[in-house]
């Protein structure tokens, strides 16, 4: 169900065993970083950008923080070697976060922390040292709730914890490179221009526990002008690279954002 994300087919063994990915691994340290924004850009705007993409790209930021953590560990256990990962390798980020006691995998497929909800990124350090560890409780608190499954506009969550990427608006707007609009999302885009948070927005654990990030790094790059067609029409490739230089939106690129806008325009014509 991974659509065109061919990289998901590779490295199955490494995905299941980090010691194959990084020889000598004895410990996985799993961390979360809250990105829940300080402002709601959805209000009064016609298009919706996913919250994780409001600010600068998280990959480098979390890697830098984890490098500090690795230095810190080295002060206590010299010659500790570690490799840092943030959404960057065949590592099952959510599964390791569960093992570490950071939360449970919700029916929407995201890791939910009972203290913070699910609007955070996950990163890891694979260490060549065996550290002491406890046996944390990893209870699933979804209970009878099905809000995320019911709210998904494309029925991409076909069973609890199971997301069919080919139907997911996040995949269609960010990862899918084709020009033709997938039938699965036709008429169901709900104004999503980049990514989708619907199944997280409706989750009671976010409604109750999501609090704004304290990291200035995630201050929105996206400005009011980004919600106008004129802005995207006028933007050259060079200007796009400059404006979104340090933004996750680079992943989709200018051509694809324009494609998403044209898909959204088709939807509004139908209404």
Active site residues: 87
Q: Is 172 in the site for ligand B12 (CB under 6 A)?
A: no
**Contacted entry of ligand B12, ligand SF4, none for residue 1, CB cut-off 5 to 8 Å set by kind:** none
Site for ligand B12 in 88-147 (CB under 6 A): 91-95, 105, 108-111, 118, 120-122
**Contacted entry of ligand B12, ligand SF4, none for residue 205, CB cut-off 5 to 8 Å set by kind:** ligand SF4
**Closest CB to ligand SF4 among residues 28, 41:** 41
Q: Is 193 in the site for ligand B12 (CB under 6 A)?
A: no
Q: How far is the CB of 78 from ligand B12 (least distance, A)?
A: 29
Q: Is residue 169 a contact partner of residue 190, using CB atoms and an 8 Å limit?
A: yes
Q: How far is the CB of 72 from ligand SF4 (least distance, A)?
A: 34
Among 170, 213, 247, 256, indicate the residue that binds ligand B12 (CB under 6 A): 170
Binding site for ligand SF4 (CB under 6 A): 106-108, 112, 142, 145-148, 152, 154, 156-157, 163, 168-170, 196, 198-199, 202-205
């Amino acid at each position: 169900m991974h659509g065109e994300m061919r990289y998901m087919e590779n490295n199955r063994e490494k995905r299941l065993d980090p010691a194959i990915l990084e020889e000598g691994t004895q410990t996985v340290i799993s961390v979360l970083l809250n990105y829940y924004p300080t402002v709601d850009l959805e209000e009064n705007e016609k298009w919706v950008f996913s919250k994780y993409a409001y600010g600068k790209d998280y990959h480098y930021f979390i890697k830098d923080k984890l490098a500090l953590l690795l230095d810190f560990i080295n002060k206590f256990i010299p010659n500790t070697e570690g490799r840092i990962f943030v959404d960057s390798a065949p590592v099952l980020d959510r599964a390791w976060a569960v093992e570490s006691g950071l939360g449970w995998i919700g029916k929407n497929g995201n890791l939910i922390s009972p203290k913070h909800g699910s609007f955070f990124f996950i990163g890891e350090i694979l260490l060549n040292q065996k550290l002491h560890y406890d046996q944390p409780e990893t209870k699933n608190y979804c209970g009878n709730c099905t809000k995320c499954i019911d709210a998904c506009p494309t029925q991409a969550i076909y069973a609890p914890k199971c997301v069919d990427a080919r139907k997911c608006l996040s995949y269609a707007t960010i990862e899918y490179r084709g020009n033709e609009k997938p039938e699965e999302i036709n008429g169901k885009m709900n104004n999503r221009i980049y990514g989708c948070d619907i199944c997280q927005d409706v989750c009671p654990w976010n409604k109750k526990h999501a609090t704004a990030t304290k990291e200035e790094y995630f201050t929105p790059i996206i400005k009011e002008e980004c919600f106008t067609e004129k802005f995207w029409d006028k933007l050259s490739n060079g200007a796009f690279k400059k404006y979104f230089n340090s933004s996750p939106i680079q992943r989709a690129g200018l051509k694809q954002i324009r494609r998403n806008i044209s898909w959204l325009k088709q939807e509004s014509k139908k209404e």
